Amino acid sequence: MEPEHLERFYRKMLTAGSAAGTAHQVHRTVRGALNEAVRRGHLAVNPASIAKAPRLEEEEVEPRTVEEVQRLLDQADKTLRPARWVIALALGLRQGEALGLKWTDIDFDLRVLTVRRNRLRPRYRHGCAGDPCGRKPGHCPRKVNIRRETKDTKSCVGRRPIGIPDSLLALLLHHREQQEHQRRRAGGLWTEKYYVFTSPTGEPLNPNTDHHEWKDLLEAAGLRASRLQDARHAAATVLLILGVPDAIVARSWAGSPASPHGCAAATSTSPTGS
């Protein structure tokens, strides 16, 4: 195998309609596999280390207007989990961070939420070995999840405390009350794992379900489609709509240089208005 073979393959992927990110991921996978072949002495040189990876164009995020954000918040209030979307929009949490939240991560007295883990996407295997269903593992009626639910956040940037605005704090308290009603309705079917956002039986919310609910929310609000991860870019606007003073919003989201002292120097954002 020569580097040119890989580059030709990447070009064919792009011509066939694959995204540049997909081709780039293939390149990384191939490079990792061939690195192992070099380590074991099967190859002298890794051709993937020489081949040019597909160029990734950074996608520009079109910010939402204040009117669009207000419509999104109004529509979110009509969903099953309003707090889920206000957290995404106001605090800038990524999907995995929001779905990995547990009630023990929220200090209602100090009005602080601490990000500690990420929810992982389930990975399934067939549970019908003796009677094959003929479907993909994820659609098997007896599918078995072989991946753990969450992964702890290790980095200083990922593991962080965040101040909670008063209006969002009230929304989270209401969400906890609603979850208690849901727990009583589920009875013995409920599995207590203390997640903030759950399935009807207490299991952590599936990221795929969450993604489709986001798409439904945008459609119901009459807004253009966008990635769920891009909701983070509306955080400052949402905080202002929630009544957080301008100065606090500016301090919380302006960003600051990385501290040379690591995690010990990390500070929380404080969009509480207090």
Segment 89-102, tens digit of pLDDT:
888 888 999 999 99
Provide the pLDDT confidence category of residue 198 given band limits of 50, 70 and 90.
Answer: very high
Q: State what percent of residues in the chain have pLDDT above 70.
A: 85
The neighbouring-strand residues paired with 269 are 162
Sign of CA dihedral 234, 240, 242, 245: positive
Provide the pLDDT confidence category of residue 245 given band limits of 50, 70 and 90.
Answer: low
pTM: 0.68
The predicted structure's pLDDT at residue 203: 93
The predicted structure's pLDDT at residue 90: 83
Does the structure show a pLDDT above 90 at 257?
no
The answer for 266, left when phi > 0, alpha when psi is -120 to 50, beta otherwise, is beta
Please give the domain boundaries of the chain with CATH numbers for all domains. Answer: 3-50 (no CATH), 66-116+153-265 (1.10.443.10), 121-152 (no CATH)
What single-letter amino acid sits at 114?
T
